[in-house]
Amino acid sequence: MPTIELNWRVVTYDEAGPARPDRPPLLLLHGFTGGRQDFADVLESLGEDRRVVVVDLPGHGDSEGSDDTAAYGLASTAAWVAQFADAVALGDFHLLGHSLGGLIAQRVAAGASQRLRSLVLMDTGLGAPREEPAERVVRIALAARDEGPEAAAAASLDDASASDEERAEATARFRALNPAAVVGAARGLVHAVPLSAFLRGIDVPVLVLHGEQDETWTLSEQRLLAATVAGAEHVVIPAAAHSPQRENPEAWLAALRGFLRRVDETASGG
């Protein structure tokens, strides 16, 4: 588990694969209350093609964070991501954002599109999710703030029949989270404003990628995202919901690796 110090706080990340001049690196951003472990099962496969880095965002996983909820806004986190990319010497890179990470990635692109070789928006939307998933996000944040990690973990589990293993995993994840990060990220998520004008004119290749059964942003909402983004490719992963890298990793890897290779080949004149 590599670590660096950024803005006087420890940041943890994982990486795989060699640096290759013909295949720029890929940076992965996790979603709300997630962490770098969300991509653990696919990291080595992605690293067969290029250098791949997945980071614990501030206050998540093993990365330290502020106790000020305002530090976790979308714009602030996007600026932090750009700093992190410099700190680990990514140069120009591909960027994938999952869920909340997709909203952050859009803002990274808006601030520094000249750095990006491509943008992958995974199980995310133009802006805040609809009322039902947004209310769930708020319940989780309030539980994390007022009742502790066990209550937040329980609020995060959709199904009362969740296994003991799933409950233990959720509890461990919330124990690692800074409650201020949960509250600040939730606030950014439920109040996210679409960047439609920017996305209509974006000048890097974009892939909209999601599970066919995702209910955080519905199929129609993600179709709208793909239709809004200039020239976007749109791939729906079958037999998957909000985390297709876990639910159908083979199809997810094929779609993502194929897109990145096409972008690289086009850039090199192949």
40: domain CATH number is 3.40.50.1820
Report if residue 184 sits inside a domain.
no
Report if residue 255 sits inside a domain.
yes
Report if residue 160 sits inside a domain.
no
Report if residue 243 sits inside a domain.
yes
What spatial distance separates the first Cα and last Cα of the chain, rounded to whole Å? 36
The domain tally of the chain equals: 1
Report if residue 152 sits inside a domain.
no
Domain range for residue 21?
3-127+193-267
Report if residue 134 sits inside a domain.
no
- Can you tell me the distance from the alpha carbon of 108 to that of 82, in angstroms, rounded to the nearest whole number? 7
Report if residue 182 sits inside a domain.
no
Tens-digit pLDDT string for the chain (270 aa): 899 999 999 999 999 999 999 999 999 999 999 999 999 999 999 999 999 999 999 999 999 999 999 999 999 999 999 999 999 999 999 999 999 999 999 999 999 889 999 999 999 999 999 999 999 999 999 999 999 999 999 999 866 667 888 888 889 999 999 999 999 999 999 999 999 999 999 999 999 999 999 999 999 999 999 999 989 999 999 999 999 999 999 999 999 999 999 999 998 776
